[in-house]
Amino acid sequence: MTAPSTNTAKPATGILALLKTAFVNALIALVLFSLMVGVRTEAGSDGQLTYWTRFGELASLVAAVFGGSIVIDLLRQWIGPTGTEKLIPPAVQSGMSFVGRYLAPALLIFTLLVPVIFYDQRYILDLAILVLTYVMLGWGLNVVVGLAGLLDLGYVAFYAVGAYSYALLATNFGWSFWVCLPLAGILAAFWGVLLGFPVLRLRGDYLAIVTLAFGEIIRLVIINWQELTGGPNGVSGIPRPSFFGIPLDNSDDGLAAKLGIEYSTTHRIIFLFYLILALALLTNWVTIRLRRLPIGRAWEALREDEVACRALGINTTTTKLTAFATGAMFGGFAGAFFATRQGFISPESFTFQESALVLAIVVLGGMGSQLGVALAALAMIGGFELFRSLETYRMLVFGMAMVLIMIWRPRGLIGHRAPTVYLTQAQAISSDLVKEGHG
């Protein structure tokens, strides 16, 4: 932090300026709300237009804006201008770095213990499985968006390919989950390469549009290819996963009977929990590993400067394709897991909203940061459940929370990049320097 002393807090601007800002804000609110709130129109019993005014509500809204503006200004003066990190006392700073260092292991240990702690709470276990699925999807997409800097809006396509691969192979040929899992990953990676080829020359917005279209194409093909995929009816009766050949059911051959314990449906849930945890950790391990290999460094270099990459003899075509394929493969694994967990899949599960959600997780987490993506998935999926009691206002509160987080941390929750190799000491690199990539 070598910021010059210009960052010192400005003297409190006068009360007059404060009131002036508040007045302007209130005026804007008055103009905005006078029609939206102030006048209420409705069709009367005979179809004629009836309207009545609601000046009380309007006045309270404007007053709220006026007061809120003053409060925000005061808070701003109290906290000081943005970027005054050095105002944080050293004790708090060292405490934060301590938390930062042990957060990931602590989270991992807690996650491992979730089925033990919440053994009887089916709802929490189901939610945890859902969160872990999105953690895995986020980590998978992180390879493409966070590391290689290729904006992919159609990631759900690979999730769908993985899910349908397992569903169709299992229902038609009776192949087991453990055979289909790698196949689902390979097929998704294959589609990743297929998508990669036409979009290689595209950058930025154009790449985003084509990947978005690709996601839609996959979904439309699934809907319309009735003979194979069952169309909108989906595929049902997808086999549940077995514990390496031993089914997890109430039969005499089931795991419970073999172990001589009483059968419980929770066993299967816990098995699914550890299965997705293992898959997510595999994704994480491979990604961390790849980052330290030449291919991972080439991905990050591609995000930083594609022209320089080519000047250094890096084949940007294959580098991009491997990023797409790797990300797609993990999406395929997650898709196969999704299919076996649900037992039923239909095209409705693979809409653009899913792609947007996973992308939001990656962006919110801090592009390229594994821990950030995990935290973001927890916040997005878990947080969304937290607001369930708010019913109608759920989406509103959730959206506002996201906007606030992006104002507070514009580069995501974890805004640092860790170097992949170092001589003496690994220093975190400020995200201000790290590029987002151009496509």
Closest CA to 372 of 204, 139, 70: 139
Judged by beta carbon, residue 75 or residue 423, the one nearer other proteins is 423
- Max CA separation in the chain (angstroms): 82
3-state SS, residue 429: strand
Calpha distance 435→307 (Å, rounded): 14
Q: Is 421 in the site for other proteins (CB under 8 A)?
A: yes
Burial of 409 (0-12, 13-18, 19+ CB in 10 A): middle
> Using the rule CB under 8 A, which residue among 96, 293, 390, 404 binds other proteins?
293
Which pair of structure tokens corresponds to residue 354? 């899913």
Alpha-carbon torsion, ordered 172, 187, 222, 336, to 10 deg: 70
Contact region for other proteins (CB under 8 A) — 65-73, 91-99, 236-244, 427-435? 427-435
Amino acid, res. 430: S
Which pair of structure tokens corresponds to residue 202? 């595209």
Judged by beta carbon, residue 295 or residue 371, the one nearer other proteins is 295
> Using the rule CB under 8 A, which residue among 300, 346, 354, 439 binds other proteins?
300
Number of Cβ atoms within 10 Å of the Cβ of 275: 19
Judged by beta carbon, residue 126 or residue 436, the one nearer other proteins is 436
Closest CA to 439 of 150, 139, 223: 150
**Least CB distance from residue 419 to other proteins, whole Å?**
5
Calpha distance 34→32 (Å, rounded): 6
**Least CB distance from residue 310 to other proteins, whole Å?**
5
3-state SS, residue 50: strand
Q: Is 417 in the site for other proteins (CB under 8 A)?
A: yes
Contacts of 92 (CB under 8 A, 6+ apart): none
Judged by beta carbon, residue 26 or residue 279, the one nearer other proteins is 279
Judged by beta carbon, residue 269 or residue 302, the one nearer other proteins is 302
Judged by beta carbon, residue 150 or residue 269, the one nearer other proteins is 150
Calpha distance 200→210 (Å, rounded): 11
**Least CB distance from residue 365 to other proteins, whole Å?**
17
> Using the rule CB under 8 A, which residue among 31, 87, 403, 426 binds other proteins?
426
Q: Is 363 in the site for other proteins (CB under 8 A)?
A: no
Binding pattern to other proteins, positions 375-414, x when CB under 8 A? ----------------------------------------
Contact 43, 50 (CB under 8 A): yes
Which pair of structure tokens corresponds to residue 236? 């049902």
Contact region for other proteins (CB under 8 A) — 65-73, 272-280, 377-385, 423-431? 423-431
Judged by beta carbon, residue 131 or residue 148, the one nearer other proteins is 148
How many of the chain's residues bind other proteins (CB under 8 A)? 40
Q: Is 83 in the site for other proteins (CB under 8 A)?
A: no
Q: Is 295 in the site for other proteins (CB under 8 A)?
A: yes
Q: What are the Cα distances from residue 2, in Å, to 85, 133, 340? A: 11, 41, 53
Q: Is 75 in the site for other proteins (CB under 8 A)?
A: no
Q: Is 265 in the site for other proteins (CB under 8 A)?
A: no
Would you give the distance in Å from CA 21 to the centre of its chain? 37
Number of Cβ atoms within 10 Å of the Cβ of 400: 11
**Least CB distance from residue 289 to other proteins, whole Å?**
6
**Least CB distance from residue 84 to other proteins, whole Å?**
20
**Least CB distance from residue 108 to other proteins, whole Å?**
21
**Least CB distance from residue 234 to other proteins, whole Å?**
36
The CA-CA-CA angle for residues 247, 249, 252, to 5°, reads 85
Binding pattern to other proteins, positions 302-341, x when CB under 8 A? -xxx-xxxxxxxxxx-----x-------------------
> Using the rule CB under 8 A, which residue among 294, 343, 399, 410 binds other proteins?
294
- How many CA atoms lie less than 13 Å away from 158 in the CB half-sphere? 37
Contact region for other proteins (CB under 8 A) — 20-28, 207-215, 242-250, 283-291? 283-291
Contacts of 400 (CB under 8 A, 6+ apart): none
Interacting residue ranges for other proteins, rule: CB under 8 A: 286, 289-290, 293-295, 297-298, 300-301, 303-305, 307-316, 322, 417, 419-427, 429-431, 433-435
